[in-house]
Structure formats: C-alpha cells, structure tokens
Amino acid sequence: MRATIIHGAGDVRVEDVADPQLQQPTDAVVRVLRSCICGSDLWPYWSMPASEPGERIGHEFLGVVEETGSEVSGLQRGDVVVAPFVWADNTCDFCREGLQTSCRHGGMWGADGVDGGQGEAVRVPQAQGTLVNLGVGEDHALLPSLLTLSDVFPTGHHCAVTAGVNPRTTVTVIGDGAVGLSAVLAASRLGAERIILMGRHAERTDLGRQFGATDVVAERGEEGITKVRELTGGDGTHTVLECVGTRPALEMALGVARDGGVVSRVGAPQYDEAPLGFGVFFRNLTVTGGVAPARAYIDELLPDVLEGRIEPGRVFNRTVGLEQVPEGYRAMADREALKVLVQP
Amino acid sequence: MRATIIHGAGDVRVEDVADPQLQQPTDAVVRVLRSCICGSDLWPYWSMPASEPGERIGHEFLGVVEETGSEVSGLQRGDVVVAPFVWADNTCDFCREGLQTSCRHGGMWGADGVDGGQGEAVRVPQAQGTLVNLGVGEDHALLPSLLTLSDVFPTGHHCAVTAGVNPRTTVTVIGDGAVGLSAVLAASRLGAERIILMGRHAERTDLGRQFGATDVVAERGEEGITKVRELTGGDGTHTVLECVGTRPALEMALGVARDGGVVSRVGAPQYDEAPLGFGVFFRNLTVTGGVAPARAYIDELLPDVLEGRIEPGRVFNRTVGLEQVPEGYRAMADREALKVLVQP
C-alpha cells in the first residue's frame, strides 16, 4: 500500500510500504477513509534531521474496519470508526480516569512499528479500546467533522475543560490555527459568553467569530496583552486557552490571565522553560492542560457532531489525495491552508 | 513603641518607632499579643542589600483592638483579633471570590507606610475587612494556634485546597518547614489517607507524622523522586504540595507527581523559570497554588482550632520577647528553631 513517510525537514514522501496485517489478537486493520495533517506534524516538517529510511507520520484518521483480531469484540468488518491520536486499551486505571494519553498499554501512531495515519490503511493496536464506532456509512456527509474527533476538536475541548470554562468565565483563546478555532468552538459549546480570539489572519478569525468568538485581537506580545486588558476592564480573562505552543504565546497567555485565573496549554510546547516566577505566583495563576486524551471526550462530543449542533470540520479548507500529501504539508507550512484533509 | 526593622542581610534590629495612629477612617490600631517569624522573612534576612533607614518587617500577628476609625464597624476596643498576612477590604470582587491577596484596595504589611507585625502595635488599614474577631481573651491558651491562622496554617491549607486534596488523592508534601508541616496537617484534615512527607530533619518529620504523614522520605533530588515512586507503585502521587520555593524543590515536585496530577506551590518562588517543557505537557501535569489568601480560609479553619481538633501552633518550638527577635531570626536561619513565636 501507499503511506506517508517523513525523511527530514521539508521532505515528506508518499511511498510503497508493506500492507498492514494483524500482529496481536488485540489488533484491527482499518482502511483509511479520511486522514489529515496536524499543526504538530509541522514541527518535524520544519526541524527534523534527515533520516533514512524515515518515519511513518500522521495520527488523525477515520476509516472502515477490515479485519479484527481474536480478542477484539464490539467491532466488525465494515464498521466506520474514528481513532484518537493516541491509541490506548481504555481499561487501565489511567484510561478509566480519562487520561488515555497515559495508558499503561498505549502508544503513538507512527512509532515503534505502529503505522501512521496518513496512508491507505493502518494496523490499530488495542483496537477495542482505541476505536470508536461512528455508526455512519462510508459516504456520510459529516466525515470531515467526524474526523476532527480524532484530535483537533477534542484538543480544543480539553483546553477549555482543563481551563474550567463555563458560562461564568471570560475566555481568551491564543492562536487562530485549527486548534485555536476548535478551542473557540469548544468554549462556546461550554457556554462561555465572552471569548476573545487572538489571531491576525482575517480568514481564520472570521471563522472564529462564526464559532463563537466575541472579540478578535490582532496585536501580539505586550500590545496584545494591553488590548485584551482594555477589553476586560484592565483585569484579563478568567481562562486563557493557549493553542500555539511557543514561548511568546505562553508569555502572552500569562499576561492576559486575570488574577486567580487559569492558563491551559494544548499546543505542544516548543520551549523547555516557562516564566513562572514570583509575579505569576503572587497572582495565583494556574498552568494546566497538556496532550489531550481525545478518547475520553469522543463519546460526549459525537452526538453534537452527528446531530449537526456543531460543525468542527469547517477547519478543513483544503482537500488532497494521498499522493498530494507533500503538497498539503507545504500549503499548511506556508499558511495557505488552515488544515488539510486527506482523502486516500 | 518598639518594632523590628531589617537593615540588610543578617541585620535585624528592634528600634524605637512612632506609635501607630489612625490615619484613615477605615483604620484600626491593634496592640500585638503574639507575632512570629516566617520562613519568607528569611529570604531578605539572607539576601537583602544594606538599607538605611531599613524596612519594617513581620506579617503575622494577633492582638487587641485599641482604637477603630469612624468607618470600622463590627470591631471594638478590647476584641482579640487575628490579621491575615495581606490586608484587604474583603468586599471587592476579588475578595468575594476568595482571592483577598489580589484585593483592589489591599496591600502588604511593612510596605508603603504600613507597619510590620513584629512590633508592639500595628496600624491596620481596611480593618473591618482585614481583622477577624477570635472571640477569646488575651490570655487564651490557644493563642499560638490561633496565630497560625495569620499565615502558616492557611498557607498549608491553600496548598492542599488548590492541589485538590481529598480522601481519594495521594499526597506528597515537599519540605519539613513550618509551611510543609502545616500542609501535612491541612491534607490530613481534608481526609487524605496517604501523605508522604519529604524532609530530612527528624525532629520536624516526627511532628509531621503526628500531623498525619504516613511516610517520610529523607532523600532529595533524583533519589527522592525514585523513593516516592517506589512507595507508589512507580506512579507518584495525585497531588504534590511544594512548600519550599526553590527550583530543586519544584523539580522534585514535578518528578513525584502522577500523570494527570497537580503540583501546588506555596513557597515564594526563588526562581524565575520553571521546567514546563514537553515531558510535563505530555503527562498533563498542572502547576497551581500561589500566595495564600489567608483571609478566605480563617472562618472555616477557626472552629477546628478553637475546639481543639487541630493544633497547628505546635510548629512553634521557640518563644522570644520582642527584644530577642534578632536572636529568633538567627535561630530560624540556622535551623535551630522550626518557627519562632514572639511575645512582645
């Protein structure tokens, strides 16, 4: 079959690889209907040292169950399923607590001999715990929105949940990428009435307004902080959803948080050190969030997608075939595309 | 009157100062019955540049109301009151939310023309909001425990509360100083059944065991992390109460936290940068806490002290007169004394 392999910065190729086969009785094989490119795929696309034979990549996909191992129950050939971006048994203590990203028997796509999602098919470890049956057909109109349940929408939701967003909290969302816009949608879904979106790409912030943002701040750094504070009587917002992952974004997040407030971060941090000295301490700011346990949220979010109350798939503004995945990376890296859907 | 003035590192003196007088109609004057020396007073004692005329110091005291301004109600001459370590109006929006340390009309003792607590008397700004009437006599046997309501016990309590300690959470407390031991007592009071105290002074950790610690780990750094993990099946604890304030203590706190867990810090940070990179992110660790809004907790904690269910005043193991305050600082700095009570 064909699958995407990253060989280094700027070097993504679609190549012939072995067809996936069941290896463990807990495995399934899924034929991919839709996958996509994540903002976090761009970090290696920008910085990975050259590598041969390269690494499989992609961690967001939905598809059709082709085959299941002998210990997989509840799934059968033909089911249309979505996979969260970390696979997990969904039965260990961490999974039961809703932290499937720390599953005792889980792992990452594209690592340790596990397939990546940007290919024609995937061997899914711990299939019974990992996959969620969507109960839809292969040609369902909502496949793009259903695909966002794999990562980007639950990631925005995790950001809002861990920040404690509710109808009484004001919210700042930092970043107008697909995760930031998903965080806006998630905050709105949780009832937030005041959502300030910090971003400077009008096409994206326009979608943010449609997702529920009440204000848009294009300024960044100290100017951005000043602007958000002006909008909030000088105080900043109760919750700040940091959806970028850079150090300047985190600094801005801490700057716009109201005393006693919460900064939640879901952008994979591109820094090792965070400025949590006396000022942050004296203001009783909390820093929370982390890699989103998407699996924990899919059951809750699925009905809202299926019944059309939310349409998170609107973050996709370009679709490519599998052979055009390298072009998809380029388009996202150049900010031509917000998020690229892949239709093998 | 006599009051304590710090002139620089290692240079604490008791000197003659002007008697406090009402300046605002919201002021009161309180004659100090008991004050004490805080671990945080040691930071300037260790590092303050030489200064003349020096600065008033001390932020924990209880005493007798001598006089009240025309806008102070609910307090009268002769009331025995305790003052939280940050004064506040207790009516602004931050105060109503329980964040009196961010009061819009509050401030610190010993700064901006406000008296310090280590003296014979104190002018108390925002007296009605700041002071809590204890309803006891001047010679009450529990004055030491009641004095801890000013800072050290609510600080331990804030650490436990913000960490989310409850009967189902395991707890590590870092630091066997007075705040750490108070955090042990607070965690135990909140129902925690497993409390690991990290400290290496047997006399202090023995008191920690009496306050509720179930395990004591004397090792520090990587060895300490390994030991706590051994005690918890490899996982670490759900909550970590960081009661020291140094960078190594924070690193240890992050190292002993269970995935998905919370590190709360109440030791004033002696660092500007915290190691919150990808590892902490992937493990979904939260960093919370901050300067404790003691005023928010006094009403809840007072009955447990008055009725003898807890005895936080046991952290005092030396008592000095006002003229011996410099000797008290030396004894705490040399770790001869855990916490020094001052009886003017």
Q: Three-state SS across B43-78?
A: HHHHHCCCCCCCEECCCCEEEEEEEECCCCCCCCCC
Q: Does B3 touch chain A (CB under 8 A)?
A: no
Section A208-233 average pLDDT = 98
At A314 the pLDDT is: 98
Question: Could you give the C-alpha distances from B97 to A230, B91, B100, in angstroms and in order?
Answer: 22, 10, 8
Q: Cβ A281–B273 below 8 Å, yes or no?
A: no
Which among B232, B284, B287, B291 is the top mutation candidate for probing chain A, defined by the most A β-carbons within 10 Å of its own β-carbon? B284
Please report which confidence band the pLDDT of residue B99 belongs to, taking 50, 70 and 90 as the band edges.
very high
Does residue A69 contact residue A27 with C-beta atoms inside 8 Å? yes
Work out the pLDDT band at A252, boundaries 50, 70, 90. Answer: very high
Tell me whether 0.90 is exceeded by the ipTM: yes
| 3-state secondary structure at position A65 | strand
Cα A274 to Cα A152: distance, rounded to the nearest angstrom: 24
Structure tokens at A134: 């969507």
| Structure tokens belonging to residue B149 | 């309501």
The whole-angstrom separation of Cα B308 and Cα B323 is 31
What CA–CA distance (Å, rounded) separates B186 from A337?
A: 52
Q: What is the pLDDT of residue B251?
A: 98
Residue B248: cis peptide before it, omega within 30 degrees of 0: no
Residue the block writes with tokens 């108070």: B182
Question: Which superfamily is assigned to A2-151+293-343 in CATH?
Answer: Medium-chain alcohol dehydrogenases, catalytic domain (3.90.180.10)
Q: Give the mean pLDDT of B106-128.
A: 97
Residue A164 — pLDDT band, cuts 50, 70, 90?
A: very high
Residue A281 has its nearest CB partner, among B281, B285, B291, at B291
The confidence score (pLDDT) of residue A266 equals: 97
Find out whether A288 and A78 touch, Cβ atoms under 8 Å.
Answer: no
Predicted confidence (pLDDT) per residue in B81-92, tens digit: 999 999 999 999
Calculated CA dihedral for residues A249, A245, A163, B282, nearest 10 degrees: -150
Residues 99 through 118 of chain A touching chain B, CB cutoff 8 Å = 99, 101-102
**Distance set, CA A178 to CA A153, A186, A274, B282 (Å):** 8, 12, 24, 20
Residues 6+ apart with CB under 8 A from B226: B219
HSE-CB at B320 with a 13 A cutoff on CA atoms is 19
The DSSP symbol for B114 reads P
Crossing angle, helix A221-231 and helix A247-256, to 10 degrees?
30
Q: Does any CB of chain B come closer than 8 Å to the CB of residue A285?
A: yes
Structure tokens at A148: 């966002």
CA distance B290 to chain A (A): 4
**Tokens for A340?**
């690229």
Q: What is the dihedral of CA B45, B46, B51, B52, to 10 degrees?
A: 30
**What stretches of chain A show up as alpha helix (H) in DSSP?**
42-47, 93-96, 127-130, 143-147, 152-163, 178-189, 202-211, 221-231, 247-256, 278-282, 294-306, 325-333
Q: What is the mean pLDDT of residues A238-255?
A: 98
The C-alpha R_g of chain B, in whole angstroms, comes to 20
Cross-chain residue pair B276–A273, CB shorter than 8 Å = yes
- B286–A259 C-beta distance less than 8 A: no
How far apart are alpha carbons A273 and A265 in whole angstroms?
14
Q: Quick one: pLDDT at residue A201?
A: 96
**With an 8 Å Cβ cutoff, is A293 touching chain B?**
yes
Chain A hits for B275, Cβ within 8 Å: 272-274
Q: How big, in percent rounded to 5, are the helix, strand and coil portions of chain B?
A: 35, 25, 40
* B186-198 burial: b if 16+ Cβ within 10 Å, else e: bbbbbebebbbbb
- Helix H or strand E encompassing A197: strand A194-198
The pair phi, psi for residue B172, each rounded to 5°, is -115, 130
The pTM of the full predicted model, rounded to 2 decimals, is: 0.96
Residues of B within 8 A of A285 (CB-CB) are 290
* pLDDT tens-digit readout, A48-91: 999 999 999 999 999 999 999 999 999 999 999 999 999 999 99
For the stretch B313-341, pLDDT in tens is 999 999 999 999 999 999 999 999 999 99
Could you please state the CATH topology (level 3) that the domain comprising A153-289 is classified under: Rossmann fold (3.40.50)
Strand B170-174 and strand B237-242: the pairing is parallel
Q: Using alpha carbons, list the distances in angstroms from residue A101 to A36, A39, A92, B41.
A: 20, 18, 11, 42
| pLDDT for res B140 | 96
The Cα A165–Cα A188 span in angstroms is 9
Positive or negative CA dihedral for A327, A329, A335, A337?
Answer: positive
Instruction: Assign residue A313 a region (left: φ > 0; alpha: ψ between -120 and 50; beta: otherwise).
Output: alpha
Asked whether the beta carbons of B155 and B40 are under 8 A apart, the reply is no
User: What does the pLDDT read at residue B68?
Assistant: 98
Question: Chain A within 8 Å of B246 (Cβ-Cβ)?
Answer: no
- Of A143, A177, A201, the closest CA to residue A338 belongs to A177
Minimal C-alpha gap between A122 and chain B (Å): 24
- Domain boundaries defined on chain A: 2-151+293-343, 153-289
Q: Is A124 on the interface with B (CB under 8 A)?
A: no
Average pLDDT, chain A: 97
The pLDDT confidence band at residue A170, using thresholds 50, 70 and 90, is very high
Where residue B69 falls among pLDDT bands split at 50, 70, 90? very high
Contact between residue A308 and residue A298 where contact means Cβ atoms under 8 Å apart: no
CB A286 within 8 A of CB B286: yes
Task: Tell me if B2-151+293-343 shares its fold with B153-289.
Answer: no
A116 — pLDDT class (breaks 50, 70, 90)? very high
Interchain CB contact of B64 with A (< 8 Å):
no
The alpha-carbon gap from B329 to the nearest alpha carbon of chain A, in Å, equals 23
The nearest CA of chain B is from the CA of A156 a distance in Å of 15
Best of B155, B272, B285, B291 to disrupt the A interface by mutation (most A CBs within 10 Å)?
Answer: B272
